[in-house]
Structure 1
Amino acid sequence: MIRWKGRIGMEELIFRHMETVRGLTLRASDAVPEGTVDRVPAGFSNSIRWNFGHIAFVQERLVYEVMGEDSGLPDTFREYFAAGTSPAGWTGAPPSMQEIRAALAAQPGRIRESRKKGTDEPLLRPFTNKMGVTFRTSGETLLFSLYHEGLHLETIKRIARLAVG
């Protein structure tokens, strides 16, 4: 359990939670045996590598691109990890797990720094995701990215259990 001293504002709480969630994701990436990252077990359409890369890509999209800002990730992340992509359609070599982990590790600090204006900043235009949820502020999309990350982290754990044994 995390304990913080004193009262903190909601925005600080959101950033700390982002860092906590990302810490869990990074620990999971460190625990995955390298030989299992590209296996796609029956019943799944993507691999562990794809899920980690997808977490990084979607958070960039939900934090930066919906604000009309450039992603801080290489273009290869969009090519290999955007929604609708799959290892079955990959040509060439995807980013390595080390590159993906480095991107994941750097994101929380970049996001915190770039959102000094606040998380209540309105999006250029409302953004509706594939689930039909409409977002109007940068904070809403950031919070949703944490939910999204948790979903994919659970998928990673399920794939790892099947891939290892």
Structure 2
Amino acid sequence: MDASFKIWETNRHLYLKLINNYSLEQLNKIPDGFSNNLVWNLGHIIVAQQGLVYRLSGLPVNVSDDMTNTYKNGSKPTGQTTQAEVDTLKTLLISLMEQTKADYAAGKFQHYTEYTTGTGFHLASTEEAIQFNNYHEALHLGFMMNIRKFL
């Protein structure tokens, strides 16, 4: 899993670097033709990782139900995200990655409920979920790179 975690860590730092380059107004802007914004994508990858890795492993997630509902698959931005919320997301971006790595090293992921994603990927283990999560986060980084062209 070292390679998967290295890829994930690099990707999360790319997210942080990208987000730090924009004002709160820009982070909240939904460009014409898009259904979400930069900050929604950030929240979404955090919530999705917790669901894919923790929830499906039978472990409690490390985000609130409110955050899950705000950023879950199929949701859309409903208002202006505050600077405090953005700061929380930026903190969680790194802290939850570190928590997952520590929990994995400690052997906390013992079970996994098999799951097929909306795009047809069948996940049968925590390791597969972690690998798929890298794919998922790369897609959203691409979406964000496209959104930023219109800010």
Structure with the bigger percentage of helix: 2
Letter in 1 for 2:40: W
2:16 counterpart (20, 23, 26): 26
Contiguous gaps of at least 5 residues in structure 1: 1-10
Structure 2: give runs of 5+ residues left out of the alignment. Answer: none
User: Larger Rg: 1 or 2?
Assistant: 1
- Give the counterpart of 2:86 among 97, 106, 113: 97
SS in 1 for 2:150: helix
The code of the aligned residue for 1:98 comes to: D
Identity of aligned pairs, percent? Answer: 24
CA–CA distance in 1 between the matches of 2:125 and 2:132? 11
CA contact (8 A) 2:28 2:81 kept: no
Q: Quote the offset at 1:76 in angstroms.
A: 2.0
Aligned residues: 149
Contact 2:35–2:76 at 8 Å: present in 1 too?
yes
Deviations 1:95-152 (Å, cap 9, x if unpaired)?
7211111110112210111112288x551x3111101211111010111111111111
1:92 CA drift (Å): 8.6
Equivalents in 1 of 2:97, 2:21: separation in Å?
20
Q: 2:60 aligns with which of 70, 73, 81?
A: 70
Query: How far apart, in 2, do the equivalents of 1:106 and 1:42 lie?
Result: 33
Structure 1 residues 145 and 36: CA distance shift in structure 2, 3 A: same
**TM-score, L = length of structure 1:** 0.82
